[in-house]
Amino acid sequence: MLTRTLLSLLGLVLMLAPVKLLAADYIVRSEDPQVLYRAKPELPSLQPYTRQAVLNKIGSRTPGSISTVRMVHLDPMNEFVGGDGRLAVWAARQRRNPHAIVLRSGYVTPQDIAAALGPEAIEETSPGVFVVRLPILVSRDATFHIDGQVKALRLSEDAGAFLVNDGRLFMTDTAVLGWRESAGTPARYRYEKGFRPFILSWGGTELYAANTRFESLGYDESKSYGFSISQYTPAQDKILQRSHPTGWIIDSEFEDMWFGFYCYEADDVVIARNTYTNSIVYGIDPHDRSNRLIIAENHVSGTRKKHGIIISREVNNSWLFSNVSTGNALSGMVLDRQSSGNVVADNEFIDNGSDGLTLYESPDNIIWGNKSVSNGSHGYRVRNSTNIKLYDNIAINNAYTGINGHAKVLPPGSRDLELDPYDDEFSMVIVGGRLVHNGGGPVAIEQPLSIEMAGVEMLAPTSETGFALDGVLGEYLHEVFDVMVRQKKAVVIELDNVRRKVEG
């Protein structure tokens, strides 16, 4: 047992770059392991989030009001008719001053729109299959329901159709897709700026999707990313003063989306039990100041350009658990730009092009019970993030280290420091888990404020360099062994701030 423990310790690689700091700036001490142990954080139940619960939210089904209106007269369409030439896109496709279908009040279905407006707006081309040829606006007092009687709602790419929700939008037991009428096929991705239909739900709204397939939506223009829930832009938000939007997206499929999901300043959104396949840029991408999200039991694979799942810029107090993120171009999951207070638990990150899990400039997060296997870089990477707690995580056969942590001054231009301030500091606690056969060794650490470790099983890297405890902390090899092997305690490696002050 002692020999195995020694081998595990020898597998630890704590490489502290000798920049500014001297070895004497660090101390090694022991700690009672029980001080580091804690109960697993409680995760929210997914039981309330069902198809029937979505249907129960619809409420009144009083028939609604439907008309067509020029897009320039509709405030929720301002984003798409502004000074960047987008109005000309719709004008060219409609061959007139662009109009939109407006659902003004009440409960409306695609069948209702077809009966009211005819094939110029929406046409039932075969039983249950509808082609939409104008943008649709769901007004504040309206509810739009695309239900199981609609086999497919095809938003025409050729005609410039898209769907904007300013009220309540429900999609259940159906399919919504971008449609290339000229080819009779889904509007498969061709290039970044090439228009494709999209779905957007604005501030103050509710959006619910259950047991629905979404395909070939979104492109590289503001708020047109595919499937989005977003507060209004700052200028409009000052005028409209709408609450943050919300919604549930459950038990659904997404394929060939620019972003499988995007949100901005959204609250209490539930994204659960979905599959995201072959997204272009991101599978799931909650953004700026979104709070209390549940992202759970999703399967994200084949994202072509970047990450499977990313939360970025103050996406706080959220739960990301039991997701599988595999075969994505970069990381399986990323926490970025001051996203804090989150729990990342029981996820699997497999065969991704970069890290399994990446944390950039995002302090105060709990990483618990995840598996990171055969990724192209590190199993878990932590940069410029303090108070990161890693418990019972597994990293196996990743190309570089199992766990990598470092402080780094970012190069000029890589961050807008007014929007995204940060401190080039990091600290972490590593308790339990297994780090096995990672190419660069089990753990690599550069310039920490502190690192605390207990009960981690660490086995051989796959490289031929063997085991080492190098860099500044190499002088403390005997102290570390003494604490973790002989004393069987937790080891704490931290800056000797008292000495630094005296010598400074």
Separation in Å, CA 416 to CA 263, 307, 313, 411? 20, 21, 11, 11
CA neighbours within 13 Å on the CB side: how many for 315? 30
The phi and psi torsions of 499 (rounded to 5 degrees) equal: -65, -40
Q: In terms of Cα–Cα distance, which of 500, 433, 440 is closest to 40?
A: 433
What does the alpha-carbon distance between residue 278 and residue 302 come to, in Å, rounded to a whole number?
Answer: 5
SS3 string, 177-193, reads EEEECCCCEECCCCCCC
Catalogue the active-site residues: 287
CA neighbours within 13 Å on the CB side: how many for 486? 7
What does the alpha-carbon distance between residue 249 and residue 164 come to, in Å, rounded to a whole number?
Answer: 16
What does the alpha-carbon distance between residue 288 and residue 102 come to, in Å, rounded to a whole number?
Answer: 29
Q: DSSP letter at 24?
A: G
Q: DSSP letter at 160?
A: T
CA angle 390, 470, 389 (to 5 degrees): 10
CB contact at 8 A, 321 and 41: no
What does the alpha-carbon distance between residue 375 and residue 221 come to, in Å, rounded to a whole number?
Answer: 31
Bridge partners of residue 493, in order along the sequence: 28, 451
Parallel, antiparallel, or unpaired for β 175-180 and 185-186? antiparallel
